[in-house]
Amino acid sequence: MQILPRAASAAFCVLLLFFAFNTIQAATRTSIGSGAWNSPTTWLGNTIPQSGDNVTIATGTTVALNFDENLGSNASITVQSGAVLDLQSNLLTAGQFVAVNGSLVRQSGTRTNPATQAASIQLAPNSTYEYYGTNTSLGGTRPTYGNLTVATSASTGSNGSIQTSLTVLGTFTLNLDNSRELTLRSGANTSFGSLVIERGVFVVNGTSGTATLNINGDVTILPGTGVLRGTNSTGHAVLNIGGSLTNNGAFQQDRGSSTANFTVNLNGASAQHISGTNPIAFEHLTVNNSAGVVFDRDVQVDKTLTLTSGSIDSSDHTLSLGCTTTIANAGEARYVAGYLAKNVCATGAFTFPVGTDSGYSPVSVNVSSLSTNPSTLTVAAFNGPGPGVEPANSVTRFWNVVEDGDLTADLTFAYRDADVTTPAAESSFSLVKKEGNAVPTVVCTGSGCIDAAANTASASGVSTFSRWSIGMPLAPSSAEAMVTGRILTAEGRAIDGAFITAIGTDGRVRWAISNQFGYYSFRGLTAGEIYTLSIRSKNYTFEPSVRVVTLNDAESHLDFIATAR
């Protein structure tokens, strides 16, 4: 057995002590309760983390950093699910920083950079980083966040800006008091999973140049002081939205003095909805979604509407266009299904790119006289043969053209080959007009208005607007009559799913259900007979809910208006 020399033995013991000391220093420190970082009672074993320690903020605990702390490049910090690390305004340095799903890291004070410095920062997609302070500007190099919240207290805070490229995989939430603003910097690459504006003003571009914000999911503006604004100055703002837009706050193109443009691109992969209790007016709107966009409320477009891919379903709401608004790229599978309104401020031509779920059927309008300036024309297309034509010899779609004001125009209605029930008779079809409760009238027939090759029907010098059908005129019968109408709210919105019954003197009960546009009809009734109509709805009440009508005409029109919801 060889014995080490005494000096070598002593050196070996020192080396063992050195490794033992460093092993002790590299321990894991885990929080066992909520409290200050430098309080022993916060940590398991009453031991405050030291340089080189691996630190775990445990589930259910909140640890507040009350001074700058440098754990060294070999140390790691992990914030577990359900745990909170409150950095306050202090700087925490380590080799690795990990926030797992369900964790919260809070930073306050005046720092514009992250208060965590580490070679590796891993923020899980469902972790939350909250910036809560008096200075809402974010600068410097930023990690990829899970969820990010920018907030101020009720008594502090100022306008701020995002001065750097920023990626948020989850939700970016804005909660600024007293209508303070947070603006993006032009030229930066900014992407959020979704955007929620609770309070304050989110400005896509506050200066010059072009700022682009990509939202992969939904944009939600909450009631109160939440505002989404496009521009503040001369810069162009581009907002790409992959989900739905809900406005229960304020949606602003600019702050009233901006000279740039605000473009919103709806480019999702599934149907996107525009909804909310408050108005939405787009400056430039592009629909680039083959699955389409659904309007759950009235929407306005002031400058340009571009239909790159997919259609707009306005249902029982209205898409309104300004006097100078233009529409680009409309066509088959790129149109408006529902009511489309256009303000008319000058004579000239405009095409309403309307259609139904079965295809594109636009209406071209050439205004020749404008007695009231501005006036408005509203157009919608519907499936079915329409009033006043034989169902078996017709075009199976009709149009409703509504005038608000006073103008005269030439109208051209376009239909599809698939809409024609009897192609052999198409060239002898008539254009039939139905005004209110009046008997349908034939406007023109055959070559005077029907172009079978082009699939169009035209009328000139129209000054009264109504429902329009194409086909063989249906001769009124003294033996048969019908009742049609709409079910509407007090504001004029359509109500679908209302249940209407009609009872004649013979005691027979007939029933109908209003469609998505509020229309209902009873056919095959007896002219000269008295009928009692009543209505029921799960969501609305009507006064009166019972109406009595004598069918003196071939068709009677009877609307029910809701008095309460």
Quickly list DSSP for 288-311: E-TT-EEESS-EEEEEEEEEEES-
State pLDDT tens for residues 321-378.
Answer: 999 999 999 999 999 999 999 999 999 999 999 999 999 999 999 999 999 999 999 9
Given pLDDT bands bounded at 50, 70 and 90, which one contains residue 436?
A: confident
Cis preceding linkage at 374, omega within 30: yes
Instruction: Identify which of 26, 141, 31, 40 has the alpha carbon closest to the alpha carbon of residue 79.
Output: 31
Q: Which of 18-32, 90-104, 435-449, 495-509 has the lowest mean pLDDT?
A: 18-32
Given pLDDT bands bounded at 50, 70 and 90, which one contains residue 313?
A: very high
State pLDDT tens for residues 201-243.
Answer: 999 998 999 999 999 999 999 998 899 999 999 999 999 999 9
- In contact, 259 and 238? CB cutoff 8 Å: no
Given pLDDT bands bounded at 50, 70 and 90, which one contains residue 17?
A: very low
State pLDDT tens for residues 491-513.
Answer: 888 999 999 999 886 677 888 99
Instruction: Kindly tell me if the per-residue pLDDT of 36 is higher than 60.
Output: yes
What is the pLDDT, as a whole number, of residue 20?
A: 41
Instruction: Identify which of 68, 66, 23 has the alpha carbon closest to the alpha carbon of residue 42.
Output: 66
State pLDDT tens for residues 271-305.
Answer: 999 999 999 999 999 999 999 999 999 999 999 99
Q: Which of 32-36, 49-53, 487-491 has the lowest mean pLDDT?
A: 487-491
Task: Give, for 391, the enclosing helix (H) or strand (E).
Answer: strand 389-394
SS3 content of the chain, % helix, strand, coil (to 5): 5, 55, 40
CB atoms within 10 A of CB 509: 9
What 3-state class would DSSP assign to 47? coil
What is the pLDDT, as a whole number, of residue 562?
A: 93
Given pLDDT bands bounded at 50, 70 and 90, which one contains residue 482?
A: confident
Total residue count of the chain as it appears in this document: 565
Q: What is the DSSP letter of 334?
A: B
Burial of 205 (0-12, 13-18, 19+ CB in 10 A): buried
State pLDDT tens for residues 525-537.
Answer: 877 677 889 999 8
Domains and CATH numbers, the chain: 480-564 (2.60.40.10)
CB atoms within 10 A of CB 161: 18
Distance CA 223, CA 249 (A): 5
Instruction: Kindly tell me if the per-residue pLDDT of 449 is higher than 90.
Output: yes
Given pLDDT bands bounded at 50, 70 and 90, which one contains residue 1?
A: very low
Please state the three-class secondary structure of 206-220 as a single string. Answer: CCCCEEEEEECCCEE
- In contact, 235 and 261? CB cutoff 8 Å: no
What 3-state class would DSSP assign to 19? helix
Q: Which residue shows structure tokens 């691996």?
A: 54
Q: What is the DSSP letter of 158?
A: -
Given pLDDT bands bounded at 50, 70 and 90, which one contains residue 15?
A: very low
- In contact, 337 and 354? CB cutoff 8 Å: yes
- In contact, 241 and 215? CB cutoff 8 Å: yes
What is the pLDDT, as a whole number, of residue 14?
A: 37
What 3-state class would DSSP assign to 163? coil
Q: Which of 50-64, 153-167, 184-198, 513-527 has the lowest mean pLDDT?
A: 153-167
Provide the token pair at 163: 């001065």
Which percentage of the chain shows pLDDT scores above 70? 92
Distance CA 175, CA 133 (A): 11
State pLDDT tens for residues 105-145.
Answer: 999 877 777 888 999 999 999 999 999 877 778 888 899 99
Residue type, 531: Y
Alpha-carbon Rg for the chain, nearest whole angstrom, is 34
Distance CA 466, CA 160 (A): 53
Identify the bridge partners of residue 30 per DSSP, sorted by sequence position. 56
**4-38 burial code (b ≥16 CB/10 A, e <16):** eeeeeeeeeeeeeeeeeeeeeeeeebbbeebbebe
Distance CA 197, CA 503 (A): 53
H helix count then E strand count, the chain: 1, 54
What's phi and psi for 19, nearest 5 deg?
A: -65, -35
Instruction: Kindly tell me if the per-residue pLDDT of 441 is higher than 80.
Output: yes
What is the pLDDT, as a whole number, of residue 509?
A: 83
